[in-house]
Amino acid sequence: MSDLDETAVCLVVLGNPPRVAMFRGLVRAGETGKSVGEIQASLSIPASTLSHHLKHLELVGLVSRHREGTTHTCRADYRTMNWLLTFLTEECCVDSSSAPKIPHSAHKLTA
């Protein structure tokens, strides 16, 4: 699969508000991650709905899930996140002869 195709798949998966909320919450949690129960409580959604959305995030590599005893802990995959952000922004303004009128941080991102 090409980088463009992989990016499109990630963006399709993130094109759902509960998934964005889950992913953002896991990014905020850092390397510690969050248990499935914590994610469910923070979003107030049924377990089956949570499982459905987590599966999509896992399939594209944005989230990993690990079992620790009886607890399933989810973590954002920062390598995939960084790859996606870099792919979307690495060529920002390369075809422009002037600086952007609205300041942005795309030029500060590094993989």
Domains plus CATH for the chain? Answer: 3-88+104-108 (1.10.10.10)
34 burial level (CB within 10 Å; 0-12, 13-18, 19+): buried
Q: Which residue has the tokens 């129960």?
A: 37
The sign of the dihedral angle between the CA atoms of 21, 25, 28, 33 is negative
* Residue 71 phi, psi dihedral angles, 5° rounding: -100, 130
pLDDT digits (tens, 9 = 90+) for 67-91: 989 999 999 999 999 999 999 888 8
Nearest Cα to 74, choosing from 87, 86, 84, 61?
61
Contacts of 21 (CB under 8 A, 6+ apart): 43
31-35, 74-78, 94-98, 104-108: which range is least confident on average?
A: 104-108
Q: Note whether 74 and 26 are within 8 A (CB).
A: yes
Token readout for 65 is: 């899930």
pLDDT digits (tens, 9 = 90+) for 1-46: 899 999 999 999 999 999 999 999 999 999 999 999 999 999 999 9
User: Which has the higher per-residue pLDDT, 61 or 103?
Assistant: 61
